[in-house]
Amino acid sequence: MRLFHVSEDAHITRFQPRPPTRPDLDPSVGLVWAINERCLPNFLTPRDCPRVTYHEGAFTTAQERAQYFSSPTCPHVVAIESGWFPRLVHTTLYLYEFDPTAFVLQDETAGYYVSSAAQTPLARHVLTDLPKELFERHVELRVVDNLWPLRRAVQATALAWSMCRMAHALPAPNTEAEGW
């Protein structure tokens, strides 16, 4: 297993545990966060880019597969709003790789691992062409006008999904008949 931390900062030499901001975690225990390789594509966007991401889950149906995936060779989707595409194209990301033995699983579906100890990366990988990085990982990059209809639709499925930075998304459309 490989674990990573994705950043726009090229100069991190040591990761210090930070108190989590999630209400379901103890704020008195600082953590270093990492992501597994399967869910890594969820973070191959600019940091503040709102996105709806999903991949096949254990209970994904054939109907959901047909409805939510465009290609049989891409079992993972990262959807962003069209206004973020130029930033995606021009962003460089740094992939810091960790020794996985220092981490414990925090959320299997999301691919999150945590460590309460400071971590020094084993390696730093530079990613300069994010659409290409997604393509090489067999991920469909979907560019949409507004993420909210897809977000609501995906949440009602058995897909393994993650919604990130939705506070930066455009406002939800004012229509009941959005469909997907």
pLDDT of residue 177: 47
For the segment 151-169, the average pLDDT, to the nearest whole number, is 95
Give the strand order in the sheet containing 139-144.
Answer: 139-144, 76-81, 51-55, 160-164
Side by side, which strands form the sheet with 112-115? 104-107, 112-115, 32-36, 3-7, 93-98, 123-127
Where is average pLDDT lowest: 69-73, 131-135, 150-154?
69-73
Half-sphere exposure of 77 (CA within 13 A, CB side): 26
DSSP symbol at 8: S
Q: What is residue 31's predicted lDDT score, i.e. its pLDDT?
A: 97
Q: pTM for this structure?
A: 0.91
In 3D space, the residue among 102, 92, 90 whose CA is nearest the CA of residue 31 turns out to be 102
Structure tokens at 68: 């939510």
pLDDT tops 80 at residue 145? yes
Question: Amino acid identity, residue 39?
Answer: C
pLDDT single digits (tens) 54-111 = 999 889 999 999 999 999 889 999 999 999 999 999 999 999 999 999 999 999 989 9
pLDDT at 147 over 70: yes
Per-residue pLDDT of 13-61, as tens digits, reads 999 999 998 898 899 999 999 999 999 999 999 999 999 999 998 899 9
* Best CA proximity match to 91, nearest among 51, 54, 122, 48: 48
Q: Is the dihedral of CA 142, 147, 151, 152 positive or negative?
A: negative
Answer whether residue 178 shows pLDDT above 70.
no
Total residues belonging to the chain: 180
Nearest CA to 41 out of 98, 68, 82, 79 is that of: 79
Amino acid at 172: A
Q: Which residues neighbour 27 within 8 Å (Cβ) at sequence distance 6 or greater? A: 19, 20, 21
